[in-house]
Amino acid sequence: MKIISCIEELRAHLQGQLRTAFVPTMGNLHEGHLSLMRLARKHGDPVVASIFVNRLQFGPNEDFDKYPRTFQADVEKLEKEGVYILFAPTEKDLYPEPQEYRVQPPDDLGNILEGEFRPGFFTGVTTVVLKLFSCVQPRVAVFGKKDYQQLMIVRNMAKQFALPTEIIAAETWRAEDGLALSSRNGYLSEAERAEAPALFRQLNIVADEVRNGHLDVFELERKAMADLAARGWKPDYISIRKQSNLQPPSAGDMAQGEKLVVVAAAKLGKTRLIDNLEI
């Protein structure tokens, strides 16, 4: 596996490649990330991964400096997966001058849910993803469904900018107890790790209620948040949304069987976890 930090060197190595499959990451790789590499290989060749902790998507009180960086272990995992190139730029490589041009997602998608609780987050995400796409020029790129809103925003961005990159969605990889794998799970204490699967269990309870014909969205959301709070969590949101655009469903949508997703974000101790479940 070649490890490249320079954009010009990366482009030279990929010149003439028409089927490049790309998986952008922030490192601290786990089995969920590695499953994205395997899915990428099914859709293209060569497989290019990136590791870059993107300062633009961290808020002033978030964990940029504390974000776990495990580069050598990540390299070993990617080598075992047969990744062709690891693009690992420094901040000076990717942002040689202040990144004053930004990609701004539409308010009705970028400023709801995660965007409401993390202002500017999706601007940082879309800006770095567009720049990484410019560097790698992939035919396909793989993103996990765990970050459901991010997946939708990136997919819509690629469509509206007519990018020659197909966005592939990968199913969420879970531990045996149901917890969605995340780099931030490493922040959990032993007791918190034992409690963490309660978030996914709560999503399943909400999904089952919807499937059984419970149409009062607000009551389902309120009860789910109250149940989590009673267990010591601090929920930001548990929300039932339409899969098509992440807007709240109307009573008519519910009655007509609109495809839905329940999305959630909640703090357990000092660790903020997100998850979702399609209905």
Per DSSP, 67 falls in state S
As a whole number of angstroms, the distance between CA 188 and CA 261 comes to 26
**What's the pLDDT at 255?**
86
Question: For position 63, what pLDDT does the model report?
Answer: 81
Q: What is the pLDDT of residue 61?
A: 82
Segment-wise mean pLDDT, segments of 10 residues, the chain, 279 residues: 98 97 97 98 98 95 89 98 98 97 98 97 98 98 98 98 98 98 95 98 98 94 98 98 97 92 98 97
Show the tokens assigned to 180.
């969605």
Reference 101, options 119, 120, 123; nearest CA is: 123
Say if residues 172 and 146 touch (Cβ distance below 8 Å). yes
Q: Return the axis-axis angle of helices 121-136 and 7-14, rounded to nearest 10°.
A: 50
pTM of the predicted model as reported, rounded to 2 decimal places: 0.96
Distance between first and last Cα of the chain: 40
Residues involved in catalysis: 33
* DSSP structure class, residue 118: S
